[in-house]
């Protein structure tokens, strides 16, 4: 069934393209120029909006990065020391165990 729907969509898209080509060929040169300038304006607006969105996203992720680091520091305090103690402090952990077992 998905193949049939793909064929139907292709047929409709082709029909729409044919109608658009026929309409464009029957337009006067002034109408064609007006339509092209309108499309260029819309494309420029979309480009400007995309650039603004990109800049906002960049600022958002920079802010998230800085606030996220600050939040980790606030909630976990000495996270560096804690992680070092858990994963990298083999000698210190052994010394602590020997003191408690003695």
Structural domain that includes position 22: 2-101
Query: Rounded to an integer, what distance in angstroms lies between the CA atom of residue 74 and that of residue 64?
Result: 15
Q: CA 64 from chain center: how many Å? A: 14
Instruction: Provide the pLDDT for residue 98.
Output: 47
- Provide the b/e sequence for 25-41 (b: ≥16 CB within 10 Å): eeeeeeeeeeeeeeeee
Long-range contacts of 31-38 (CB under 8 A, 24+ apart): none
Domain count, the chain: 1
Two tokens, residue 1:
């069934």
Which tens digits make up the pLDDT trace of 16-35?
Answer: 999 999 999 999 999 999 99
DSSP structure class, residue 86: I
Stated pTM of the model: 0.47
Tell me the mean pLDDT in the region 73-93: 69
């Amino acid at each position: 069934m998905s193949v049939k729907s793909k064929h139907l969509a292709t047929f409709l898209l082709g029909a729409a393209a044919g109608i658009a080509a026929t309409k464009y060929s029957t337009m006067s040169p002034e109408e064609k120029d007006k339509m092209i300038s309108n499309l260029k304006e819309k494309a420029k607006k979309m480009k400007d909006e995309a650039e603004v969105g990109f800049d906002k996203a960049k600022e958002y992720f920079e802010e998230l990065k800085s606030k996220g680091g600050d939040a980790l520091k606030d909630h976990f305090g000495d996270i560096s020391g804690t992680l070092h103690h858990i994963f990298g402090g083999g000698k210190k952990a052994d010394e602590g165990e020997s003191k408690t077992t003695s």
